[in-house]
Structure formats: structure tokens, C-alpha cells
Structure 1
Amino acid sequence: MIEIKNIHKTFGENKVLRGISANFEEGKNNLIIGGSGSGKTTLLKCIVGLHDVTEGEVLFDGENFTHMNFEERVPIRKKIGMLFQNSALFDSMTVEQNIMFPLNLFTDMSQSEKQDRANFCLERVALKDKNKLFPAELSGGMKKRVGIARAIAMEPKYLFVDEPNSGLDPKTSILIDELINELTQEYKITTVIVTHDMNSVMGIGDHILFLHQGEKWWEGSNKEIAHTDNKELNDFVFASKFTQAAKEKL
């Protein structure tokens, strides 16, 4: 489990996060949602240590990550997998080399062991035998799957995902959501996803944290979200439906 306690983050005079607390549970898809500028990506970066918090604490299974120095954080960072919004693949590396990158950095595995692990991860994301392709030869959905394969290469205990469906068509988005959900449940990963995709929210949102103007505005499950009377959340959740309805009348 990941616990965040009273997280504040300020950049100069700009207060981006204002006292956010929540628990993200093992084996669940924990979604962070909110409008542009609500602070959701900043919160994700604070949790993984890419930003230092101005105030508050982040705990990984009871270990206070916030108060650790760089070396003390390494064992926890080895348990973290990340999928960035644009997949962040190295263009000069093959698919296989991209997946093996964290294994080269953080493990003493032999070359054959790393090869076996890369093959396993590729097969798990339905990209068997794509080892020697370069990112430029892949579709957007395939890049996302390679990014997921690299993220699970170290058998992470915690998985962080930033806008996994950005730039993807609806069908591919659903496939990516299903894959993340399967991996989360299969390996009992604590998964934290930043998204604005309402299909993801309603499809895999076990636990949802809604941010508004840097504050926690609502918290619950996808089953509860449809029955909330929170105005800002309703405006955010149903805006796309209203937009689509308006288009259909034209």
C-alpha cells in the first residue's frame, strides 16, 4: 500500500497541491483524475520522488520515502515500474533493448536471463517476436505495450502510469486498460494511474481520487461516481457526454 499524508507542493508563489491525503491499495487500479491544472501529474511525480514535496509524507508499505536520501530510496525505486505518457522509449534502441534497459541498470542478471525476461514481458503484452523492431516501426498502441513491458520487467510492486490512453483510438485504449488491469490483479501490484479518459474511470476505476484546484475534492469507486452530488466532479465526468449529445443534434 502507498500512503500519502497532507501533501503540499509549491513552485515559487504557485501552490499546486494543497494538503492531499489518500491510500492506494495493493491489487487495485488507483486512478487520479481532474481537469487540466488540477495537480494530478504533479502529485504522481511527488509520490515517485521526481518532485520533492513542500510539506507532507509519502509512505511505501510503511516506509517513509519522503525522509530518505537518494541511496536509501534505491531499494524502493527498484520496486517501481513507470509508464510515461509518450511511452518514453529510446529511439536508438530496439524493443528488446528498451525492455532490458532497467535490467542492465539495476540487476546482476546474465545476458541470457535478461533475454528470457524480455521475451516473457513481450509475450505478456502480446508482442511476441517483436524484439528487433525499433520504436519508429511501431504503432502508438504497440509503443504503449512496449512501455508496459519495460515497466514490468523488474517485477514491480508499484506501477505508475501517466495518461496511458493519450493519443490512442478508443479500441486500443480499451485494450491498454484491460492489460493494465490484468497485470495489476495477476501480480497484486499497487497501480496508480493519472488519466482524463472517462472510459478508463468507469471501466477499471477501483479507487478514484478527484483533484480540483490542487485539493482532494472527492474519493470513491467507479460504482459510486455515478451517484455523487459533487458538482465539480459531475461537471468533469459528464462533460464529454454532453459534448457528444450536442454534436449528435447538429
Structure 2
Amino acid sequence: MIEVRDVYKTFGENEVLKGITAQFKPGKNNLIIGGSGSGKTTLLKCIVGLHEPTKGQVLFDGKDFTQMNFEERVPIRKEIGMLFQNSALFDSMTVEENIMFPLNLFTEQSRAEKLERANFCLERVNLKGKNKLFPSELSGGMKKRVGIARAISMQPKYLFVDEPNSGLDPKTSILIDELIAELTEEYQITTVIVTHDMNSVMGIGDHIIFLHGGKKWWEGSNKEIAKTDNKELNDFVFASRFMRAAKEKL
């Protein structure tokens, strides 16, 4: 489980996060949603250590990550998988080499062991046999799946996903959502997803945190969103669905 306790983050005079407290549980799709400037990406970066909170705590299974130095954080970082918004694949590396990159960095496995793990991950994301392709030869959806394969190569306890459906068509977006949800449940990963895609929210949102103005404004499940009387959340949901529908008609 991941906990954030009273987390603040300030950049100069701009206070982006204003006392966020939340829990993210294993085996659940934990979604962070909110409009532009709400603080959702900043919160994600504070959790993984890309930003240091100005105040507050981040705990991984009860261990205070915010109080650790670089070396003390290494064991936890080895248990973290990341899927970036643009997949962040290395263009000069093959699919196989991209997936093996974290294994080369953090393990002392033999090449045969790394290759076996890469093949397993590729098969798990339905890309068996695509080892020798380069990112330039992949569709947007395939790149996302390679990114997921790399993210799970270290068998992470914690998976962080930033806008997984950015740039994808609706059908491919659903496939990516379903894949992330399957992996989360199958391996009981604590998955934290930043998204503005309401289809994702309604499809896989086991636990949702809505940020507004740097504060936690609402918390609940996808089943509870339809029943909420929270004005700001309703405005966000309506605007998100309207914009998505408009784009699909273009």
C-alpha cells in the first residue's frame, strides 16, 4: 500500500499541492483525475520521488520514503514500474533491448535469464515475436504495450502510469486500460494512474481521487461518480465527456 499524508508542494510562490492525504491499495486501479493545473501530475511525481514534497510524507508499505536518502530509496525504486505518457522508449534500441534495460540496470541476471523475462513480458502484453522491431516500426498502441512490458519486467509491487491513453484511438485505449487492470489484479500491484480520460475512469476506476485547486476534492469509485452531487467533479466529468465526444466526431 502507498500512503500520502498531508502532502504540500510549492514552486516559488505557487502552492500546487495543499495538504493531500490518500491511500492507494494493492490490486486496485487507483486513479488521480482533475483538470489542468489541479496538481495530479505533481502528486504523482512527489510519490515516486521526482519531486520532494515541501511538507508531508509518502509511505510505501509503512516505510517513510520522504525521510530516506538516495541509497535508502534504491530497494523501493527497484519495486517501481513506470509507464510514461509518450511511452519513453529508446529509439536506438529494439523492443527486446528496451524491455531488458531495467534488468541490465538493476539485476545481475544472465543474458539468458533477461531474455526469458523479456519474452514472458512480451507474451503477456500480446506482442510475442516482436523482439527485434524498433519503436519506429510500432503503432501507438504497440508502443504503449512495450512500455507496459518494460514497466513489469522487474515484477514491480508499485506501478505508476501517466496518461496511458494519450494519443490513442478509443478502441486501443480500452485495450490498454483492460491490460493494465488485468496485470494489476493478477499480480496484486498497487497501480496509480494519472488520467483525464473519463472512459478510463468509468471503465477501470476502482478508487478515484479528484483534485481541484491542489486539494483532494472528492474520493470514491467509478460507481459512485454517477451519484455524486459534487459540483466541481460533475463539471469536470461533463466537460471531459463532451470534449472526448467532440474529438471523436472530427
Name the TM tier (shorter chain): over 0.9
How far apart are the structure 2 equivalents of 1:166 and 1:138? 16
Q: Any idea what the Cα deviations from partners look like across 1:86-129, whole Å, max 9, x if unmatched?
A: 00000000000000000000001000000000000000000000
How far apart are the structure 1 equivalents of 2:201 and 2:99? 28
Cα distance change on mapping 1:145 and 1:234 into 2, 3 Å: same
How far apart are the structure 1 equivalents of 2:229 and 2:14? 30
How far apart are the structure 2 equivalents of 1:245 and 1:205? 20
Cα distance change on mapping 1:111 and 1:236 into 2, 3 Å: same
Paired amino acid for 1:122? L
Unaligned regions of 5+ residues in structure 2, if any?
none
CA-CA distance at 1:182 after TM superposition: 0.2
How far apart are the structure 2 equivalents of 1:245 and 1:109? 48
CA-CA distance at 1:242 after TM superposition: 4.4
Give the match for residue 96 of structure 1. 96
Give the match for residue 78 of structure 1. 78
Sequence identity, in percent?
A: 83
Give the match for residue 234 of structure 1. 234
Give the match for residue 147 of structure 2. 147
Instruction: Please tell me whether the aligned partners of residues 135 and 143 of structure 2 are also in contact (alpha carbons under 8 angstroms).
Output: yes
Query: Does residue 1:125 correspond to 2:129, yes or no?
Result: no
Q: Any idea what the Cα deviations from partners look like across 1:190-246, whole Å, max 9, x if unmatched?
A: 000000000000000000000001110000000101100000000001224445788
Counterpart secondary structure, 1:66 = helix
Paired amino acid for 1:206? D
Counterpart secondary structure, 1:210 = strand
Q: Any idea what the Cα deviations from partners look like across 1:35-89, whole Å, max 9, x if unmatched?
A: 0010100000000000011000000000000000000000000000000000000
Paired amino acid for 1:59? L
1:1-250 aligned at under 5 Å gives the runs: 1-242=1-242
Instruction: Please tell me whether the aligned partners of residues 125 and 148 of structure 2 are also in contact (alpha carbons under 8 angstroms).
Output: yes
How far apart are the structure 2 equivalents of 1:118 and 1:96? 6
Paired amino acid for 2:189? I
Instruction: Please tell me whether the aligned partners of residues 198 and 241 of structure 2 are also in contact (alpha carbons under 8 angstroms).
Output: no
RMSD (Å), alpha carbons = 1.4
How far apart are the structure 2 equivalents of 1:115 and 1:243? 43
Q: Any idea what the Cα deviations from partners look like across 1:107-160, whole Å, max 9, x if unmatched?
A: 010000000000000000000000000000000000000000000000000000
CA-CA distance at 1:24 after TM superposition: 0.2
How many residue pairs align between the two structures? 248
Cα distance change on mapping 1:245 and 1:56 into 2, 3 Å: closer
Counterpart secondary structure, 2:18 = strand
What's the TM-score, normalizing by structure 2? 0.97
Counterpart secondary structure, 2:67 = coil
Unaligned regions of 5+ residues in structure 1, if any?
none
How far apart are the structure 2 equivalents of 1:4 and 1:134? 38
Instruction: Please tell me whether the aligned partners of residues 161 and 193 of structure 2 are also in contact (alpha carbons under 8 angstroms).
Output: yes
Instruction: Please tell me whether the aligned partners of residues 197 and 240 of structure 2 are also in contact (alpha carbons under 8 angstroms).
Output: no
Cα distance change on mapping 1:197 and 1:245 into 2, 3 Å: closer
CA-CA distance at 1:9 after TM superposition: 0.3
